[in-house]
Amino acid sequence: MSEGQTTTEVILAAEGVSKSFGSVAVLFSVGFELRKGEVHALIGENGAGKSTLMKILSGLHQPTSGTVKFDGEKIDLPPFGQAEDLGIVLIHQELNLAEQLTVEENVFLGREMVNGLLLNRKEMEQKVQLYLDELGADISPRDRICDLSIAEKQMVEIVKAMSRDARVLIMDEPTAVLTDTETQLLFNQIEKLKNKGVAIIFSSHKLSEIKQIADRVTVMRDGQWIATKHTEELTLDAMAQLMVGRELSKLYPPKNEVDVDAEVVLEVKNLYTDYVKNISFQLRKGQILGFSGLVGSGRTAVFEAICGLAEIESGEVWLHGKKTRLHSVAQARDAGVAYLTKDRKEKGLLLNQKMQPNLTLLALPNFVKNFLMDDKAEQRATARGIRRFDIRARDPNITAGDMSGGNQQKLLLAKIMEINPEIVIIDEPTRGIDVGTKQQIYSFIAALAADGMSVVVISSEMPEIIGICHEVVVMYSGRIQGILQGAEINESEIVRYASGLREAS
Ligand SMILES: Nc1ncnc2c1ncn2[C@@H]1O[C@H](COP(=O)(O)OP(=O)(O)OP(=O)(O)O)[C@@H](O)[C@H]1O
Ligand SMILES: [Mg+2]
């Protein structure tokens, strides 16, 4: 057999693997086989157990029962690190880099190349540069991680794995943070690795990507194995249906009309910051306004400035017809503006706290009675949030950091709704969210707008921008390139503005 062809030879397998955290069972006798040289997708709803299975296969978690086999041999993978010696590398859903170190230092952390007693910086840098070039990543080995965007950090994780000569590469939602172009670059890389005989496990909620890149698909639901099939046997609908176990209705709710004379609740005039130039736009009551553009085009920077998280150099912000300057998220909140960041790990949640303190954090004054915290009211709010957003955690006392990625996102949404905002700004609302829940979030956003709230949706997913927004601002390189309405809101128009091919008239 020639090199790089998919075989039926199994390199890594789980047999009857179950996992409990304390008394809470999350995996139930799962079987899984990864063949040499295949790309095997793992799909399922938020909380289905994908990340947990991946962590077991890479030795980060011990199964409660069942076995893991590598090259046909039963193996015990713990503790940390041993799996990498076998060539099993996991890239986490929430990335795992030393923020203060450089790209090169991260790639070679713990395995530095030496020349006698000295570190061989030059050679390490060259090696890293080579990988970066291969990936088409525009960063330098000397850049510090904390100065990189999430997409760039993801690239570093991939370089790290490449430099480790991985035989099995396990990627937990690697494309959740990538743009379409970056995703294609990653897929080229995956193809190359596959042709070298590397076996790859890959999870994603973007089913069309799975269709494109995976040889086989395993579906999980509620901690159980549901099916393993060749990708060509499955349509996108069939995948979605296997995941949720029921038929899905339309993904996007119908768009309601926005009154052209509706009150302008937010107006920005000629805003300049370090990153963005001459930003002007209006947001009306009941409107859903999209911000589209490539990663790094300045979408997030605009709203960080408006909400007081970044310095404004010049320009004006008007709220309800009054000139305002917000200096912190707390001030924004008091002015009725809720801002939901896209980096839930860094800015959004208290990861070592339970759901309740996370949920009520922004709205604490609402939960005080006679100068004391009203625990009952907090509990009611938590129960309401869990119901409203369908937050799934088997253990109600789980800490936020242990919740599945998608459920963390739902918790964040529930949290900002506690302050009854008039303007809701959501950066990447459905990152890491499964199809069933996406549909819930879209109808939720539509309902907010129908109730007279105004919503800003910053998103790299073009279909969702097109599917739910009344108006779309497209940014390119720190500027607004175009503002689209009605029938202009389509993929080719957005791409032309977002890539700088077309300018605002
Ligand atoms: N360390 C932990 N302690 C307690 N429960 C945990 C822990 N890690 C995961 N869980 C629970 O295990 C279940 C499966 O979570 P997992 O992260 O594997 O889901 P997932 O399929 O990756 O979901 P997502 O698509 O949202 O990332 C969830 O109910 C989660 O809350
Ligand atoms: Mg996960």
> What pLDDT score does 8 carry?
82
Is residue 475 within 8 Å of residue 281, measured between CB atoms? no
Say yes or no to pLDDT of 391 above 80.
yes
Ligand nearest 430 Cα, by number? 1
With a 6 Å cutoff on the Cβ, whether 26 touches ligand 1 is: yes
Helix (H, G, I), strand (E, B) or coil at 196: coil
Query: What separation in Å is there between the alpha carbon of 404 and the centre of ligand 1?
Result: 4
Q: Return the beta strands (E) in 285-427 as ranges.
A: 288-293, 314-319, 322-324, 337-340, 368-369, 372-373, 423-427
Mean pLDDT score, 327-331: 89
Q: Cα of 194 to ligand 1 centre, how many Å?
A: 28
| CATH match of 10-244 with 3.10.180.10 | no
| Tens-digit pLDDT profile for residues 191-220 | 988 988 899 999 998 888 999 999 999 999
Q: Once rounded to an integer, what is the mean pLDDT over residues 79-96?
A: 76
pLDDT band at 317 (very low <50, low <70, confident <90, very high): very high
Query: Do residues 454 and 421 make contact, with C-beta atoms less than 8 angstroms apart?
Result: no
Mean pLDDT of 293-321: 93
Q: Is 28 in the pocket of ligand 1 (CB under 6 A)?
A: no
What per-residue confidence (pLDDT) applies to 247?
64
Does the pLDDT at position 86 exceed 90?
no
Given a cut of 70, whether residue 249 has pLDDT beyond it is no
Task: Confirm or reject: Cβ of 130 under 6 Å from ligand 1.
Answer: no
402 ligand 1 Cβ < 6 A: yes
Q: Are 296 and 460 in contact (CB under 8 A)?
A: no
The pLDDT, as a whole number, for residue 4 is 45
Reply yes or no on domain 249-336+421-505 having CATH 3.40.228.10.
no
54 Cβ closer than 6 Å to some ligand 1 atom: no
- pLDDT higher than 80, residue 400: yes
Q: Where are the domains of the chain?
A: 10-244, 249-336+421-505, 350-420
- Ligand 1 probe mutation, 404, 411, 431, most atoms within 8 A of CB: 404
Instruction: Report pLDDT for 80.
Output: 54
Q: Give the residue whose CA is nearest to atom 24 of ligand 1.
A: 46
pTM: 0.71
Amino acid identity, position 468 = I
Phi, psi of 309 (to 5 degrees): -95, -10
Is the pLDDT at 223 greater than 60? The verdict is: yes
> pLDDT tens, 431-480?
878 877 888 889 889 999 999 999 999 998 888 999 999 999 999 989 99
Is the Cβ atom of 430 under 6 angstroms away from ligand 1? no
Confidence of residue 129 (pLDDT cuts 50, 70, 90): very high
Cα of 154 vs centre of ligand 1, distance in Å, is 21
Same fold, 10-244 and 249-336+421-505: yes
For all residues of the chain together, what is the average pLDDT?
Answer: 88
- Bridge partners of 424, per DSSP, are 338, 455
pLDDT the model gives residue 332: 92
